C-alpha cells in the first residue's frame, strides 16, 4: 500500500493532505531519509516529522479509563478519545472501543480497529471473563457470592438469568466480581438485586490482561503475545458456552 494511503488510513489527513506531507519532505524513514509515496516500506520505519507512526492497523490498545469519560466518538465530552491521539477517531477502519464502560466506571478499556476481534470479544456469545472491583453503599450481606454463582440471578426487567459469576469479598463494603457476559450496567444491577448499591466501580482485568501500574488516563499497545492470548481466550470462551 502506498505511504500516502497508509497515513490517510491512520488518520493523518485526507489522501491529498498525506500526499502533501510527503511532498513537503515531512515523511522520512527511521534513519532520516526522505520517503516518496512509491517507496515500499513498512509501518515500523515510517516517521512523520521525526515521530513514529500511531499504532499499526490491527493493534489493540489498553486504556486506563478515568471516571467521567464517555466511550463514544460523538457524545458530550469528555470522551475516551480525548485521552488518545486526535487521529484515532479518524482512522479507517476506526479505532473503536471494545464494548463500553459507563461514564461512572473506571478501569481497563480496550480499543481496536480489528473489527473481527472486536466482534469476538463483544458479541452476546462472547464469554471472556471481566473482573470489577466495586465499593458499596452498604456492608456485604454474606450471601452475594452464592447468589451470583447460582446461575439463577434475574436482573430487574430481564427474563434470562445471569450466567454464574464469582464474588471475592475485599472488605466490609468492597468486593471483586468476575462476570462472563456484558449486560447493561450489569455489576451495578447485580448489587442492586442484593439490595445494595455501587458507589465506585473499576474494571481491573479482562481475560489475562490487567491494569498493572498503568496510571489513569494512560494507554499502551498490547504486544503480539498479549493479543494472541486474548484471541485464544475469546475463542475458547465462546466454544465452552452454549
Q: Which residues bind ligand URA (CB under 6 A)?
A: 101-102, 105, 132, 185-188, 201
Name the one residue in this structure whose C-alpha cell is 464517555. Answer: 70
**Of 6 and 97, which has the nearer Cβ to ligand URA?**
97
Q: Least CB distance from residue 77 to ligand URA, whole Å?
A: 18
Given a contact cutoff of 8 angstroms between Cβ atoms, the answer to whether 180 and 149 are in contact is no
Q: Least CB distance from residue 189 to ligand URA, whole Å?
A: 7
CA separation (Å) from 162 to 22, 72, 120, 140, 194? 54, 27, 20, 20, 14
Q: Least CB distance from residue 101 to ligand URA, whole Å?
A: 4
Residue 215's contacts (CB-CB under 8 Å, 6 or more residues apart) are 64
**Of 187 and 222, which has the nearer Cβ to ligand URA?**
187
Residue 218's CB is within 10 A of a number of other CB atoms, namely: 13
102 is catalytic: yes
Q: What DSSP assignment string belongs to 129-185? A: -EEEEEEESS---S-HHHHHHTS-PPPTT-SSPPPP-EEEEEETTEEEEEESS--TT
**Of 73 and 186, which has the nearer Cβ to ligand URA?**
186
**Of 64 and 188, which has the nearer Cβ to ligand URA?**
188
Given a contact cutoff of 8 angstroms between Cβ atoms, the answer to whether 38 and 29 are in contact is no
Catalytic residue among 44, 49, 92, 102: 102
Helix axes 224-240, 115-122, angle to 10 degrees: 40
Q: Least CB distance from residue 79 to ligand URA, whole Å?
A: 15
- Active-site positions read 102
Amino acid at each position: 500500500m502506498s505511504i500516502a494511503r497508509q497515513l490517510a488510513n491512520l488518520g493523518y489527513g485526507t489522501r491529498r493532505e498525506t500526499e502533501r506531507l510527503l511532498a513537503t519532505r515531512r515523511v522520512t524513514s527511521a534513519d532520516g531519509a526522505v520517503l516518496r509515496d512509491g517507496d515500499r516500506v513498512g509501518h515500523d520505519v515510517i516517521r512523520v516529522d521525526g515521530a513514529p507512526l500511531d499504532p499499526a492497523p490491527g493493534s489493540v490498545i489498553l486504556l486506563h479509563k478515568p471516571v467521567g469519560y464517555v466511550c463514544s466518538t460523538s457524545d458530550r465530552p469528555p470522551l475516551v478519545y480525548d485521552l488518545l491521539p486526535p487521529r484515532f477517531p479518524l482512522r479507517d477502519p476506526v479505532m473503536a472501543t471494545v464494548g463500553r464502560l459507563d461514564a461512572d466506571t473506571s478501569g481497563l478499556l480496550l480499543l481496536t480497529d480489528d473489527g473481527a476481534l472486536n466482534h469476538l470479544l463483544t458479541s452476546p456469545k462472547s464469554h471472556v471473563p471481566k473482573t470489577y472491583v466495586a465499593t458499596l453503599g452498604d456492608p456485604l450481606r454474606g450471601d452475594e457470592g452464592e447468589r451470583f454463582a447460582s446461575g439463577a440471578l434475574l436482573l430487574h426487567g430481564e427474563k434470562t438469568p445471569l450466567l454464574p459469576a464469582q464474588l471475592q469479598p475485599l472488605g466490609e463494603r468492597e468486593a471483586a466480581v468476575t462476570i462472563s457476559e456484558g449486560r447493561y450496567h450489569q455489576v451495578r444491577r447485580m448489587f442492586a438485586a442484593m439490595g445494595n448499591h455501587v458507589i465506585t466501580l473499576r474494571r481491573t482485568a479482562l481475560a489475562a490482561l490487567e491494569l498493572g501500574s498503568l496510571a489513569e488516563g494512560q494507554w499502551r499497545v498490547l504486544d503480539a503475545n498479549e493479543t494472541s492470548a486474548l484471541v485464544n481466550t475469546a475463542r475458547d470462551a465462546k466454544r465452552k458456552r452454549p
